[in-house]
Structure 1
Amino acid sequence: MRSDKSTDGQGRTFTEQARRSQIVECAIATMTEFGYVRSSLAEIAKRAGISKGVIAYHFANKDELTEQVVFELYRRAGQLIGTRVEKAPTAASALQGYLEVNLAFIQGNPDLVRVLTDIVMNFRDENGHLRYGPDDADGLLQHLEGILRRGQETGEFRDFSTRPMAIVIRAAIDAASGRISMDPHFDIGAYTSELITMFDLATAKGPR
């Protein structure tokens, strides 16, 4: 039987980790309803049925809590994408899977996508600069570049610069996030199909 005094590898007990997870989930729900800017710690605490002091025990401020929200949202999407890509037998199927899973996550989780987009567009540091910029996307681009380089090494893909291609692919995926937030009738299934065809042709070594 596991004691609540056992730790999670970061010095936190499992009880503390469970409370942190609860606060993050309530922060996501609050930001979904009110938006990032209008979501106060008081409102998040009210939704969680706890005091602001409990939140302050686990998170120094709203900024730290917001960073954990972003981490959690990327973690959920990353798990799905990683599993699909790792099982793909070829680079071409890995790229197709990457597109399908990313866009399926957007389609299945429009509220989470809106929260993440809201945070990225409005979360600023103490100097007034946006907290998340191009440098924060490097991990996503590097993962995608790995798929593209794999295809070039196996001879599936033509010779091209992987960073610009990765940027274009990510931009196409992110465009769907913005579109689905504005247009509830957006046909993301057709969009996914067209992107797969487009990037299949764009990366192909020879005529397809």
Structure 2
Amino acid sequence: MRSDSEPTFTERARRAQILRCAIEALAEVGFGGASLAEIAKRAGVSKGVVSYYFAGKDDLLGHVLLDVYTRAGGAIGERIAQAADPAAVVRGYIEANLEFVGEHPADIAAVVEVAANVRKPDGSLRFAPQGEDPVLAQLEQILRDGQAAGAFSDFDARSLAIIIRGAIDTASGRIATDPAFDLDAYARQLVGTVELTVGTRS
């Protein structure tokens, strides 16, 4: 929304509705089919209304990513804040990530579509990771904190953080394409494998 004034409740609700419709369109018809006209139709508004809140399709899709990441981050942060020890923090981090994947398949599909298709003028992916990845850095710090507390064994925290994030991202893609994928079993196996690696079974 391009305005210097504080948005009203109605404006915030309309903006959230447009974001939700964009997510649903991306999940159901893909990046190519999720035009501003399609998103506007799903929201029951004109393209002009969408343009009032977002400065074009790329801006809207960038906010889709921000919306999903913010909600996922909140759920994960709430879970690990309740953990009683370093092992429970890591276990909660993995479980909360995978639970969000399982409970929000449309959101995950939308993120995959945006990340894989939105490009810069030079043709490179607009949302490809660049520089330090804050999500990876957070997980690496969690693992290092566990080592510093004497709860974990000696291992390379960054390498393990990359492995865990890769496993979570794999689940995100698998759940959208493999009807036989058992997310609960996958989560248990991943947690068990990581606990063996860090040297705790608490």
Alpha-carbon displacement from aligned partner over 1:148-182 (angstroms, at most 9, x marks no partner)? 11101110112233222111110011111111122
Aligned partners of 2:31, 2:132: CA distance in 1, in Å? Answer: 20
Aligned to 1:45: 40
Aligned partners of 1:53, 1:179: CA distance in 2, in Å? Answer: 37
Equivalent runs, 1:63-82 vs 2, <5 Å:
63-82=58-77
Return the match for 2:174 from 174, 179, 191. 179
Aligned to 1:153: 148
Structure 1's unaligned 5+ residue stretches are 1-8
Query: What's the TM-score once normalised by structure 2's chain length?
Result: 0.91
What one-letter code is carried by the residue in structure 2 that aligns with 1:73? V
Structure 2's unaligned 5+ residue stretches are none
Equivalent runs, 1:122-141 vs 2, <5 Å:
122-135=117-130, 138-141=133-136
What one-letter code is carried by the residue in structure 1 that aligns with 2:74? Q
What one-letter code is carried by the residue in structure 1 that aligns with 2:31? Y
Aligned partners of 2:171, 2:143: CA distance in 1, in Å? Answer: 21
What one-letter code is carried by the residue in structure 2 that aligns with 1:198? T
Identity %: 46
Aligned to 2:89: 94
Number of residue pairs the alignment of both structures matches = 199
Root-mean-square deviation over aligned CA pairs: 2.0
Q: Which has the higher contact order (CA 8 A, sep 6+)?
A: 2
What one-letter code is carried by the residue in structure 1 that aligns with 2:72? A
Aligned to 1:106: 101
1:37 counterpart SS class: helix
Return the match for 2:27 from 28, 32, 39. 32
Return 13-22 or 61-70, whichever deviates more: 13-22
Query: What's the TM-score once normalised by structure 1's chain length?
Result: 0.89
User: Residues 116 and 136 from structure 1, CA distance in 2 versus in 1: closer, same or farther, beyond 3 angstroms?
Assistant: farther
